[in-house]
Amino acid sequence: MILSMTAYTYVEQQGEWGTLRCDIRSLNHRYLEVSLKLPDSMRDCETAIREAIKAHIHRGKLELSLNYQPGATVQTLNINPVIAAELQQATQSLTTVFGTALNLNPLEILRWPGLLNTVDITPDLSSAALRVVTQALAALNEVRAREGQSLCHFINARLEELEQLIYALQPYQSTLIAEQRQRLLDRIQEINVSVDAARLEQELVIFAHKTDIAEEMSRILIHTQEIKRLLAGSTPVGKKLDFLMQELHREANTLGSKASSLRTTHVAIDSKVLIEQIREQIQNLE
C-alpha cells in the first residue's frame, strides 16, 4: 500500500476523566520530522507517543497536537491531623475541668475551620492519551492510503504516456541513417562536388554513433517498468523513486542532446514534461 505524505485527521475520545482530542497533520519531507504539542500533564508520555508515531509513519513532516478538557472534578476529603490532635487535646482538657465527658456532634467537629479540606484527584491520562494517538495515527494512514492510491493512478498514466512516446520513436530510428545518407547525397549533388565513397561511409558511421539513442530509450523503458513495480508494492518507496526520477531526467537530457531530427527533439521535450509531472507527485509519496 503506497501512502501519501500529505493528509490531516483528528480523533476525539470522552471518558469520566473528560475529553481528549488528537489532531494530526502530515506534509511531504525528505525524512521523518515530528512536532508535538502536548499538555503539561501529559509530558511523561511523550516518549511513548513518539515511538507510536515511528511505528506508523516512516517519512514526512508530522505535526501532532493533543488537547485535554477535564470532566467533572473528582475530590477526596482529608482531615488535618494537626488540628484534629489539638481538638482532641482541648476536649480532654474540658472533660477534666467539668468532670464529665462532653457530648460532641461529629458534624460540628468537621465544621471546625481548617480541620477538613478537599483534594482534587488528577486522573492518570497516559494510557488514554496513547490510545487516542494510536487511533488518530491509524485514521491518518487511511487518509494517506486513499491519497496515495490517487497519486499512483496519476503517475501510472503519465508513465504510460512516456512509454508510448518511446515506442513510437523506436521504429523511426532504424530509418535515420538512410535518411541522413540521402540528405548528404542530395547536398553533394547540389554543390556538384565529388566525394570519396569510403569517406562518405566514415561520416555516416560517425553520425550513427553520435545520434544513437537506442540505449537511452531502453533505459527509459527499464526505469518506467521499475517505477510501476515499486508502486505496486506495499513498502515505502519514496526515496527509491526519487533516485529513479533523477535517472529518467538524465536519460531524457541525453536523448535531447543526441537529437538529430525534429521528431526526436519533440519526443525529448515531451518526455521531460511528463517526467517533471511524475517527479512532482512522487515527492508526496512516503
Domain limits for position 20: 7-72+125-140
Q: Is residue 2 part of a domain?
A: no
Give the pLDDT confidence score for residue 84 in this predicted structure. 78
Q: Is 1 part of any domain?
A: no
Residues 99 and 150 grouped into a single domain: no
| Confidence band, pLDDT 50/70/90 cuts, at residue 209 | low
Q: What is the pLDDT of residue 118?
A: 61
The pLDDT assigned to 27 comes to: 94
Give the model's pLDDT for residue 90: 79
Is the same domain home to 157 and 185? Answer: yes
Of 190, 245, 250, 205, the residue nearest 223 (C-alpha):
245
Q: What is the pLDDT of residue 76?
A: 61
247 shares its domain with 265: yes
- Same domain? For 84 and 176 the reply is no
Domain-located, residue 273: yes
Residue 195 reports pLDDT greater than 90? no
- What is the pLDDT of the chain when averaged over all its residues? 84
192 in a domain, yes or no?
Answer: yes
Same domain, 153 and 245: yes
Same domain, 101 and 59: no
pLDDT higher than 90, residue 36: yes
Give the span between the Cα atoms of 265 and 255, in whole angstroms.
8
| 135: DSSP letter | H
Higher pLDDT, 174 or 10: 10
pLDDT, position 135: 96
Residue 41 shares a structural domain with residue 95: no
Please give the pLDDT value at position 6. 93
Find the CATH number of the domain harbouring 135.
3.30.230.10
User: Where does a domain end: 140, 175, 192?
Assistant: 140
Verify that 14 and 68 share a domain, yes or no: yes
Question: What is the pLDDT confidence band of residue 46, given thresholds at 50, 70 and 90?
Answer: very high
* 218-228: pLDDT as tens digits: 999 999 999 99
In a domain, 209, yes or no: yes
C-alpha to C-alpha distance for 118 and 234, rounded to whole angstroms: 56
Residues 223 and 261 in one domain: yes
Q: At residue 20, does pLDDT exceed 80?
A: yes
Number of domains in the chain: 3
Distance, in Å, from the CA atom of 8 to the CA atom of 131, rounded to the nearest integer, reads 18
Cα separation of 1 and 7, whole Å?
15
CA–CA separation, 103 and 89 (whole Å): 15
Question: φ, ψ for residue 38 (rounded to 5)?
Answer: -120, 150
Give the whole-angstrom CA distance, residue 161 versus residue 30.
Answer: 28
> What mean pLDDT comes out for the span 138-149?
95
- Least confident piece of the model among 55-64, 196-205, 209-218: 196-205
Domain match, 208 and 106 both: no
pLDDT digits (tens, 9 = 90+) for 110-141: 777 877 776 554 567 888 899 999 999 999 99
Residue 158 reports pLDDT greater than 70: yes
Task: Give the residue from 123, 125, 120 showing the smallest Cα distance to 39.
Answer: 125
Cα–Cα distance between 13 and 59 in angstroms, integer?
Answer: 27
How far apart are alpha carbons 62 and 26 in whole angstroms? 4
Q: Which of 77, 76, 84 is nearest to 109 (CA)?
A: 84
272 and 210, same structural domain? yes
Q: How far apart are CA 13 and CA 100, in angstroms?
A: 60
pTM of the complete model: 0.69
Final residue in a domain of this structure, among 140, 168, 196: 140
Sign of CA dihedral 84, 112, 74, 47: negative
pLDDT digits (tens, 9 = 90+) for 57-111: 999 999 999 999 887 655 566 788 888 788 778 777 877 777 777 677 777 777 7
For 235-265, the pLDDT digits (tens) are: 888 889 999 999 999 999 998 887 777 888 8
d(Cα 6, Cα 25) in Å, to the nearest integer?
A: 8
Task: Compute the distance between CA of residue 104 and CA of residue 112 in angstroms, rounded to an integer.
Answer: 12
| Percent above pLDDT 70 for the chain | 81
**What's the pLDDT at 144?**
95
The three cell numbers of residue 25 are 497533520
Claim to verify: residue 204 and residue 100 sit in the same structural domain:
no
Residue 283 clears pLDDT 80, i.e. is over it = yes
Closest Cα partner for 136 from 23, 2, 15? 23
Q: Is residue 170 part of a domain?
A: yes
